[in-house]
Chains A and B, each alone.
Chain A
Amino acid sequence: MKYTTIIFSTILIGIHSHAQDVNTLIKQVKNKLDNVNSYIATGSMKTSIAYLKIPIAKVNIQYKKPNDLIIKSNNGVTFVPKGVDAISLQKLFSSEFTAIDGGTEMIKQKKLRTVRLLPTSQQSNIVLSTVYINESDLVVEKSSTTTKDDGTYEMEMQYGKYIQFGLPDRIVFTFNAKDYKIPKGLTLDFDNASSRNQKIDKTMLNKGRAEIVFQQYTIN
């Protein structure tokens, strides 16, 4: 019995001490991000979803503290996934939340600390976010966020030159999207043999992916 109690308290203490750690960790990550007041970045965005055949877009990304992120295309028509502004992690950390330690996980041969963030506000669109933090560099390498309205989206970050600002060189943003059907009779298509045989991986219909590669940041 005594033994059990000791184990139990150790776990509790452990959790407690971990929780402390996690909050500190989050704070450190957030502080690092907060060093950037605003930035303008150039880069490219490759949006992939089964029904879109679109070129890689050259984009300008403008960020202003705390939550203002705009993706603009240089060449006109660009499909910008909704919720892609979540790539600004400041936004994620700016709201009130409770952080829960999820231990460590090996992802792509890196040991990352898993932290679950539960918003405290009922109004928040986010239900749950899980962030995977590289503790030595104090950057988020991966996140997964479940929202009330926009489904679940995931992000994977790769860092390079701008790691000291917590700004990635490359982000892969994966999101849920609705199926797309053009209203019948609106197009009168040239139905050639190849198009008739065109089948689609139905499971892929609702999975979108946007890969943003940053070339240059101008940071203030």
Chain B
Amino acid sequence: MSIWKLLEIELYKISKRPRTYISFAAISAIVLIFQFAFKADGENYMNLMLQGINDSFQLDKQQAMNGYFMCYIILNTLLVQVPILVALVAGDAISGEANMGTLRLLLSKPISRTEILIAKFLASVFYTIILLIWMAFFALVLSLWIFGSGDMLVFRVAGEVSQIMQIAQDDIVWRYLAAFGYAAVALTVIASLAVFLSLFAENSIGPIITTICIVLVFTIVSNMNIPVIDTHVKPFLFTSYLVGWKGFFYIATTQDGIPIKGSIEDIQSIQRSLMILVGHIGLLLLLSIYIFKRKDILS
């Protein structure tokens, strides 16, 4: 029994569950609402972001409100919600089977528990990636179609400083690809966490809610601006690294403040974040396998 065959079976099971499609529907709905709202009244948002700049500069806001910019705004909002959708499926991995009573059936077949767990984990990752591709299509491709393309503005608060960075339109697509790749890794941490928690429950609500709560609480703490938390707590919360995809849009500049094409301001920081996230995935996966192998199946 190869892991790929098991993965195929797991994906087949996921594909047959209605809850799987809730996420796709939710993402489509949110993105479409965003696009509709910004098509109708994007200028207000631009004006809000450009407070103080409107007095000093003229800017073609219609041009600035292009598909690339839209995608950034959508990801900014949506990537906070997507962990919930990932948890919805990954949190069900083991606990759902326990709840249905199929876990004992599955585990009394000649498949090792490590294989099952890895197959379930890979299935969750696969689902996450498909979800991201779906999101990329809606948020980027559809936005480009509706809003057109152009240079992209990135609004950023760096330390105490607000900044607007402009990225040339031929320098954007690779950043999105990298950002989606990064987001896939970040969301895989959520999937690993949800799979891990699903080991301990016999219905999927518990692990799903617990995953969401952990992500929520960690995110809130990650966004606090208190020096003690900055230095002593944030580095240890994986949620601090979830927004790392933005690093690909923080373009390096020359001394004169002119963006350098193809550059990233702080690639080391992104690499470090990625390593921390991958470390989380590895640790959660190993811990899950260790516990699952020793677990008495009572469901």
Contacts and interface: CB of A to CB of B under 8 A. Distances in A.
Given A46-B258, A76-B169, A77-B63, 10 more contacts: A53-B165, A77-B60, A80-B57, A82-B58, A175-B56, A180-B164, A188-B223, A191-B158, A195-B158, A200-B160
Contacts of B41: none
A190 B66 CA distance: 23
B269 interface: yes
Given A78-B59, A189-B246, A181 B251 contact: no
A77 to B, nearest CB: 4
Interface stretch (B15-23, B93-101, B116-124, B147-155): B147-155
B159 A199 contact: yes
Contacts of A52: 163-164, 166, 257
Contacts of B243: 188-190
Given A77-B151, A79-B57, A183 B158 contact: no
A28 B162 CA distance: 46
Contacts of A1: none
Interface string A172-192: 000111111111101111111
A193 interface: yes
A85 to B, nearest CB: 10
Contact of B157 (A46, A189, A194): A189
23 contacts: A47-B57, A48-B257, A51-B163, A52-B163, A53-B163, A53-B251, A54-B257, A76-B63, A76-B64, A82-B57, A175-B56, A178-B53, A178-B56, A180-B162, A182-B162, A184-B157, A189-B243, A190-B243, A192-B273, A194-B269, A195-B250, A199-B161, A200-B161
Give the interface SS of chain B, mostly helix, strand, loop or mixed: mixed
Contacts of B266: 192-195
B166 A182 contact: no
B57 A53 contact: no
A75 B51 contact: no
Nearest to B150: A76
Residue with the greatest number of chain B CB neighbours at <10 A, chosen from A50, A78, A196, A208: A78
B76 A187 contact: yes
Interface residues of B, number: 54
Interface in A48-95: 48-56, 73, 75-82
A199 B76 CA distance: 25
Contacts of B163: 51-53
A198 interface: yes
A109 interface: no
Contacts of A220: none
A56 B66 contact: no
A190 B244 contact: yes
B52 A181 contact: yes
B29 interface: no
Interface in B42-68: 48-49, 51-53, 55-60, 63-64, 66
B161 A51 contact: yes
Contacts of A76: 60, 63-64, 66, 150-151, 169
Nearest to A208: B56
B277 to A, nearest CB: 13
A183 B48 contact: yes
A5 interface: no
Residue with the greatest number of chain A CB neighbours at <10 A, chosen from B59, B63, B162, B259: B162
A184 to B, nearest CB: 8
A188 B250 contact: no
A203 interface: no
Given A77-B153, A187-B76, A190-B243, A51 B164 contact: yes
A69 to B, nearest CB: 12
Nearest to A85: B58
A47 B160 CA distance: 22
Residue with the greatest number of chain A CB neighbours at <10 A, chosen from B160, B161, B244, B270: B161
Contacts of A180: 51-53, 162, 164
B256 A55 contact: no
Nearest to A77: B151
A79 to B, nearest CB: 5
B12 to A, nearest CB: 37
Nearest to B230: A196
